[in-house]
Amino acid sequence: MEIKDLITTGLFTAIYILQLCLISMTGVIPVLHFFLPAMAALFCSIPFFLFLARVRKFGMITLLGTLSGLFVFLIGHPWVALVSAIFFSVIADLICRAGHYKSSVFSAISYSVFSFWTGIFPATMWLMQPYYKKAMDAMYPGSDYTMRMFSLLNSRVLPFAIIIATFIGCLLGVYIGQRTIKRHFEKAGIA
């Protein structure tokens, strides 16, 4: 790894985190909060594929994911978010490496695997309901938002809907990301 690779990774990590923060703002609508992984998979694809075109060394995806996971951990998400980010990033890195960082098929699979780390947000809320209920009651005492959020959490269909929506978000994200890189950034000589 060279210094320019680390700088490029830092830049794309900042862009990725900024997009995650913007997407998470839709979480003010309770039902959309649970579909943040699907929206992240859809809207964060362009910077991810541009990142893959710029840095083709093992460990860079892991670093991107680890820094992103560390950020969400530091802003208050449970430690599971950091572990999930590292786990899925390493697997995504290994998949890209198997395709020599040039295969569009391996890149697509890698992005899809990487995107599932954000699924930990609704999963931890679902699995750790007492913790989140206590935290949300402290932040928003007697709030309608908290009641609506936890009424949605009791749905048995919700976990399957989140997984299916995230899978669809990954497919659309891969299509949009790869197509955008090919049509615009390769022609401009950026990718």
Q: What is the pLDDT of residues 44-101, one digit of tens each?
A: 999 999 999 888 899 999 999 999 999 999 988 888 889 999 999 999 999 999 999 8
Amino acid at 47: P
Could you report the per-residue pLDDT of 105-144, keeping only the tens digit for each? 999 999 999 998 988 878 777 778 888 788 777 877 777 8
Residues across the chain: 191
pLDDT for 6 beyond 70: yes
Q: Which residue shows structure tokens 């694809």?
A: 45
What does the alpha-carbon distance between residue 170 and residue 44 come to, in Å, rounded to a whole number? Answer: 10
The secondary structure element, H or E, covering residue 97 is: helix 79-98
Cβ count within 10 A of residue 87: 17
What is the Cα–Cα distance from 92 to 76, expressed in whole angstroms? 25
154 CB contacts (<8 Å, ≥6 apart)? none
| 153-190 pLDDT per residue, tens | 777 777 888 889 999 999 999 999 999 988 877 666 66
Distances (CA, A) of 114 to 78, 82, 183: 19, 13, 23
The number of CA neighbours under 13 Å toward the Cβ of 124 is 18
Q: From CA 171, how far away is CA 76, in angstroms rounded?
A: 30
The rounded distance, in Å, linking the Cα atoms of 40 and 56 is 23
Residue 13 carries which DSSP code?
H
Residue with tokens 């809907």: 161
Contact 94, 81 (CB under 8 A): no
